């Protein structure tokens, strides 16, 4: 079967069932323990797979049902990080969070998500995407009391992420996406070592590689910050040429209700572009026509076989019902455009 053009996918997270973790909350604690928690996570993955499949999403994910947070859950599994010590740091120059402390050399003694990836692979016949945090964003989400250098620590994380990513790919994952929201804040670091450490994390992978850069979930600190960015968000003008020249295959960004001038995606020539057509910062569900309009405007700059309609960001802050309806809006909007292109 040939793959359709405008293949749909999601950035990563989906809301968790209320019996697993409190809804509409980042870093929500688990409600189950031990083997019951492990089984609960697997059941939650099955449910989000069915939701994505029922909505007609082409490239599916585990909705990050097995992790409390997209960065700290990965870090929790590494040696050299002390979760007994918590320090308050300012994340992305924007909001304070209590984070663990790096106390010694970082090492990955065993796989973190590889079992989860095998389970995901076994539970669906569709292509699967798996997300990992990117090195710069990891460095920005903890307190370093050992390396005393963000760059040095980022290279260590890149090496560890690459070990993990190679095993995820071997488990049958089709796309590995690194989440780098910090790319929109620390431009000097992106230029001097952020892209290089990202490429190191993705080095030698047999699957597609992606990076998600964004202006953050719809939480208050992010929404307040967005108010300060002016009418046009041109930050990507600096980042896109660097990503275009990088070895990463795909770039994911928010486009719907965003102030990013859509023509900037023209700077990503040759890359697959994951066009965010669903706003995750509002409960209002997009109409199919709104989704179609976003895709059409992106098609002026990206060929249909390189354009992947997607969500703006993770959907974890939404309710499950709203998330399901938004997934359906995404595929309904894409169906309109496929039809126009004679590809339905």
Q: Which residues bind Zn ion (CB under 5 A)?
A: 214, 313
Paired strand residues for 129: 175
Nearest approach, Cβ of 251 to Zn ion (angstroms)? 12
Pairing of strands 95-107, 129-133: unpaired
Nearer to Zn ion, 155 or 183 (CB): 183
Q: What is the radius of gyration, based on Cα positions, of the chain?
A: 19
| Helices vs strands, H then E, count in the chain | 11, 9
Q: Least Å distance between CB 314 and Zn ion?
A: 6
Residue 129 · residue 173 · CB < 8 Å: yes
Contact (Cβ atoms closer than 8 angstroms) between residue 296 and residue 273: no
* Helix pair angle (320-340, 34-55), 10° resolution: 30
Complex with Zn ion: residue 211 or 214, whichever CB lies closer:
214
- φ, ψ of residue 14 to 5 degrees: the values are -130, 155
Minimum distance between the CB of residue 79 and Zn ion, rounded to whole angstroms?
28
- How far apart are CB 10 and Zn ion at their closest, in Å? 11
Tell me the C-alpha distance between 288 and 336, whole Å: 8
Q: Is 212 exposed, middle or buried (0-12, 13-18, 19+ CB in 10 A)?
A: buried
**Looking at the chain, which runs of residues are DSSP E strands?**
79-91, 95-107, 129-133, 143-144, 175-179, 208-212, 250-254, 272-276, 307-310
Nearer residue to Zn ion within complex by CB, 10 or 205: 10
What is the smallest separation between the CB atom of 312 and Zn ion, expressed in angstroms? Answer: 7
Tokens (6 digits) for 223: 């929404």
Residue placing its CB nearer to Zn ion in the complex, 48 or 211? 211
Of 80 and 181, the one with the shorter C-beta distance to Zn ion is: 181
Size of the chain, expressed as the number of residues it contains: 344
Q: Which is nearer to Zn ion, 147 or 184 (CB)?
A: 184
Q: Pick between residue 101 and residue 313 the one whose CB is nearest to Zn ion.
A: 313
Q: How far is the CB of 87 from Zn ion (least distance, A)?
A: 24
In the complex, the smallest distance separating the C-beta of residue 313 from Zn ion, rounded to whole angstroms, is 3
């Amino acid at each position: 079967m040939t793959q359709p053009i405008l293949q749909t996918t999601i950035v990563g997270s989906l809301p968790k069932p209320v019996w697993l973790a409190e809804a509409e909350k980042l870093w929500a604690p688990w409600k189950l323990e031990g083997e019951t928690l492990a089984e609960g996570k697997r059941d939650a993955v099955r449910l989000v797979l069915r939701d994505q499949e029922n909505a007609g999403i082409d490239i599916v994910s585990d909705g990050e049902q097995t992790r409390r947070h997209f960065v700290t859950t990965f870090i929790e599994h590494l040696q050299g990080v002390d979760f007994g010590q918590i320090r308050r740091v300012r994340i992305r120059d924007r909001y304070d969070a209590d984070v663990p402390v790096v106390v010694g050399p970082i090492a990955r003694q065993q796989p973190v998500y590889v079992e989860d990836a095998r389970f995901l692979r076994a539970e669906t016949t569709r292509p699967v995407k798996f997300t990992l945090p990117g090195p710069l964003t990891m460095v920005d989400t903890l307190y370093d009391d050992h390396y005393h250098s963000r760059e040095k620590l980022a290279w260590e994380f890149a090496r560890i992420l690459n070990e993990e990513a190679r095993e995820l790919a071997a488990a049958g994952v089709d796309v590995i996406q690194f989440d780098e929201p910090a790319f929109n804040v620390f431009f000097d670091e992106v230029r001097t070592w952020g892209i290089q450490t990202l490429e190191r994390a993705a080095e030698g992978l047999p699957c597609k590689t992606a990076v998600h850069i964004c202006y953050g979930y719809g939480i208050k600190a992010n929404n307040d910050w967005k108010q300060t960015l002016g009418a046009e968000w041109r930050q990507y003008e600096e980042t896109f040429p660097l990503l275009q020249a990088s070895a990463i295959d795909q770039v994911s960004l928010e486009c719907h209700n965003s102030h990013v001038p859509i023509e900037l995606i023209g700077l990503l020539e040759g890359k697959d572009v994951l066009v965010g057509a669903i706003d995750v910062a509002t409960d209002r569900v997009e109409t199919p026509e709104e989704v179609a309009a976003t895709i059409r405007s992106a098609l002026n700059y990206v060929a249909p076989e390189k354009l992947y309609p997607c969500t703006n960001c993770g959907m974890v802050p939404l309710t499950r019902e709203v998330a399901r309806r938004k997934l359906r809006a995404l595929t309904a909007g894409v169906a309109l455009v496929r039809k126009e292109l004679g590809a339905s």
